[in-house]
Structure 1
Amino acid sequence: MAESEYETSHLAHVMRDMEKDYEFAIGMVFSNELEAYHTYVAYAIGKGFGVRNDNLLRNRKGEITRRTFVCNCAGHPINSSDQEKKYHRSEVRCGCPARIKFKVDNGIYEVIEYVSTHNHPFIPEGQKHMIRCGRMMSDTCKCYS
């Protein structure tokens, strides 16, 4: 099984098995980055928001020691009014504080910070399939698009 096929099936499995009232807790442990990321994405899609990668800290050896995933509305838009934009698209960043931070030790991801509050409305149930981090396409389908 190719890595992307594994990711797709793993995310679908996590989303199917996740309880509606699932919450993260400080001290929770995940065996690798994919498991941590897919679990947070499944939780996010269930709630109605998207996820993106944020900070990544490495030690002197180049090993990951901290990893943060944030709501896709985190941060603020970059105002570049001097430059004319090629494409105009709506801006979703509104400074949302929601995030999850992991401490990484020997490839084990442990939750050290979790903020679940959002400052924006969630995506409606009928539009959750459009959340970017949750779109699942197999390699076969990608070849035809």
Structure 2
Amino acid sequence: MDILDLTTPTHHNNANVVEGIEETPNDTIKHWVPLNVPEDMKPIVNSVWDKPETALDMYEKYAEKAGFVVRKASVKYRKDRTVSNKYYVCNKEGQPKKVQAIDTLLNDVLESSRNRRNSNYAITGCDARIKLKNKKGTDFWVLYEFEEKHNHPMIDERKKHLSKPCRKLLFEDQVFIQNVSTNNIGATKAYRLRAAMNGGYQNVRGTVDDYKNTKAAINLFVGNRDAQMLVNKLRNRSVCLPEFSFDYKCDKDELVCLFFADETSKCNYKEFGDVIAFDATYSTNK
């Protein structure tokens, strides 16, 4: 497939192509073709894949470099109910739904938000896609069609890190969030620290909200096991520090009180007598 040169006027199939605009006798059709993708990253027609997920992973990497987002489309079945075809398309594929005009000043409309459309992107009917066909009787898939042209601009290079695939945090990002949280660094500061370490926010996967959601998910996973984690941590500390002492009390398998004292606390008690340290968040945290 020919690649449009968006900087130099050319002729393509008897149509004038200037800056990504094809002028036809009847109307003007705009097409955008990614020019910043290496040839070895582009899908190859008639290439064979061991499974469709591998081809999808290849297409998603191409899309991330090009500046658009991929989603799964329709699936075709044979008469024996085995899958014969799979399509992966640009997320702007399809026809936009008709949305009824809403007067947001009406109280009854404000009370019911079900009629409002909440969408982060616009459907433009983009035809960019790849099509896979299964070789009957085998586990091999053939990529038999690749449409490179889009009817919309690509995502700006400065905003690629805000696209849905790039916002997905990797396992190493999740480990980083958990590790810094053990040093009383919250999700917001963790995001800023990650940006400073990587040379800018554009080099960080996700946003502040993604970091907050990940931290909340980790806390939810920990659940009510955090009490046992605290006891284990203090027990290990008492093994490493002979002057460290701690004790705790449980009521029906629930931690109700905890006492610990290190060498500094014991020295203060010896010099000044009774010392009380009270947590200001007592009985306020779950």
Query: Which portions of structure 1, spanning 4 or more consecutive aligned residues, are displaced by more than 4 angstroms?
Result: 138-142
Tell me whether 1:109 sits opposite 2:141 in the alignment. Answer: yes
Alpha-carbon separation, structure 2, partners of 1:64 and 1:135: 31
| RMSD (Å) for aligned C-alpha atoms | 2.6
Larger relative CO (CA 8 A, sep 6+): 1 or 2? 1
Match of 1:20 in 2: 38
Which of 51, 67, 82 is the aligned partner of 2:86?
67
Gaps in structure 1 of 5+ consecutive residues: 1-18
2:218 matched to which residue of 1? 144
- 1:39 is matched with which residue: 47, 54, 58? 58
Aligned to 1:96: 126
8 A Cα contact 1:57 1:66, kept in partner = yes
From the superposition, tell whether residues 130 and 97 of structure 1 become closer, same or farther in structure 2 (CA, over 3 Å). same
Distance 1:68 1:107, change over 3 A: same
| Distance in structure 2 (CA, Å) of the matches to 1:30 and 1:135 | 27
How many percent of aligned residue pairs carry the same amino acid?
A: 24
Query: Which residue in the other structure is 2:157 paired with?
Result: 125
Residue of structure 1 equivalent to 2:259 = none
Letter in 2 for 1:116: E
Q: Which amino acid aligns with 1:33?
A: P
What is the CA distance between 1:80 and its match in structure 2?
3.5
The 8 Å contact of residues 73 and 87 in structure 2, kept in 1 or not, is answered as: yes
CA pair 131-93 structure 1, distance change in 2 beyond 3 A: same
- Determine which structure has more spread, i.e. the larger CA radius of gyration: 2
State how far apart, in whole Å, the 2-side matches of 1:132 and 1:62 are. Answer: 32
Give TM-score scaled by structure 2 length. 0.40
User: In 1, distance between residues paired with 2:101 and 2:156?
Assistant: 35
